[in-house]
């Protein structure tokens, strides 16, 4: 990207372009880090500028908004979003998923790490597994038949159209990473186990996971309740995140926080 806006063999020129680039301090820091690696590779000398990241609140979507996106997007994109929601994988990790990583017997998906994360093997629902297996097998990777940035652009277009259709401005704010934020928060809400969430996300440092503890309000008693009268109904509710409460009149009661 830098090579498109300036001569990357001229460190001082690139330094000025990075500092004046119309982006956040975090984005400028990423550009600076990328060019620093390039200078080290090429043997160039430069003084890397320092940027101070500004902490912004993490946007936490509603589960109903995520489900609306999954239900209203096309096959491959819809399955991709469901994978993000169920596993909390980074979009780059989900993009690298290979057919060999999907274990049908154990109903798991092996996640290959990106961004210095740890690898892990995560459970997936029967519904997601069924949808994965219906996708065409064009190469060894499940989703990577095109560029991830192009795939993200398709998602953003579909997302914006749905936000207008449903008159829901919150949907405009949902990025791929929002699915990961929701999963991490929901798991901490459910388990109150920060080490479990750290493993789920593949974080090497606990400090990266602790941010999700601030997004949970354990005082909330707002629940959605469901009743299951058969084993299949109970199984479906559990796979949807409901937890068993009790049994009354030959029916099992389940609940899930809103």
How far is 223 from 255, CA to CA, in rounded Å?
A: 6
CATH number for region 63-215: 1.10.443.10
Largest CA distance in the chain: 77
What residue spans define the domains of the chain? 2-42, 63-215, 223-257
Helix-helix angle 63-71:148-166, to 10 degrees? 110
CA angle 112, 113, 116 (to 5 degrees): 160
45 alpha carbon, distance to own chain's centre: 37
Q: What is the pLDDT along the chain (258 residues), one digit of tens a residue?
A: 888 888 989 999 999 999 998 888 888 888 898 999 999 999 999 998 888 877 677 888 999 999 999 999 988 999 999 999 999 999 999 999 999 999 999 999 999 988 789 999 999 999 999 999 999 998 899 997 668 888 999 999 999 999 999 999 999 999 999 999 999 999 988 888 889 999 999 999 888 888 877 666 655 556 778 888 899 888 888 887 788 888 878 888 888 766
Q: Which residues pair with 123 in a beta bridge?
A: 108
pLDDT at residue 181, rounded to an integer: 93
Predicted TM-score (pTM) of this structure: 0.71
Smallest Cα–Cα separation from 42: which of 71, 3, 77? Answer: 3
**Three-state secondary-structure class, residue 194:** helix
Please give the helix or strand (H or E) that residue 14 lies within, else none.
Answer: helix 11-20
pLDDT at residue 237, rounded to an integer: 85
pLDDT at residue 245, rounded to an integer: 85
pLDDT at residue 138, rounded to an integer: 85
């Amino acid at each position: 990207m830098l090579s498109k806006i300036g001569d990357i063999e001229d460190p001082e020129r690139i330094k000025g372009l990075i500092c004046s680039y119309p982006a956040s301090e975090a984005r400028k820091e990423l550009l600076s880090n990328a060019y620093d690696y390039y200078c080290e590779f090429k043997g160039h000398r430069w003084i890397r500028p320092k940027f101070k990241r500004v902490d912004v609140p993490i946007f936490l979507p509603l589960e109903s908004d995520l489900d609306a996106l999954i239900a209203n997007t096309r096959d491959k994109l819809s399955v991709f979003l469901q994978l993000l929601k169920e596993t909390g994988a980074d979009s780059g990790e989900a993009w690298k998923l290979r057919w060999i990583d999907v274990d049908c017997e154990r109903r798991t998906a092996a996640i290959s790490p990106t961004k210095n994360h740890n690898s892990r093997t995560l459970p997936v629902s029967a519904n997601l597994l069924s949808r994965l297996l219906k996708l065409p097998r064009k190469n060894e990777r499940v989703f990577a038949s095109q560029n991830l940035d192009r795939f993200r652009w398709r998602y953003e277009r579909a997302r914006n159209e749905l936000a207008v259709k449903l008159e829901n401005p919150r949907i405009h704010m949902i990025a791929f990473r929002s699915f990961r934020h929701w999963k991490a928060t929901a798991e901490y809400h459910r388990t109150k186990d920060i080490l479990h969430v750290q493993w789920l996300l593949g974080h090497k440092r606990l400090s990266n996971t602790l941010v999700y503890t601030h997004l949970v309000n354990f005082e909330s008693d707002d629940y959605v309740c469901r009743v299951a009268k058969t084993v299949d109904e109970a199984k479906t509710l559990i796979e949807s995140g409901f937890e068993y409460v009790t049994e009354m009149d030959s029916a099992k009661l389940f609940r899930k926080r809103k």
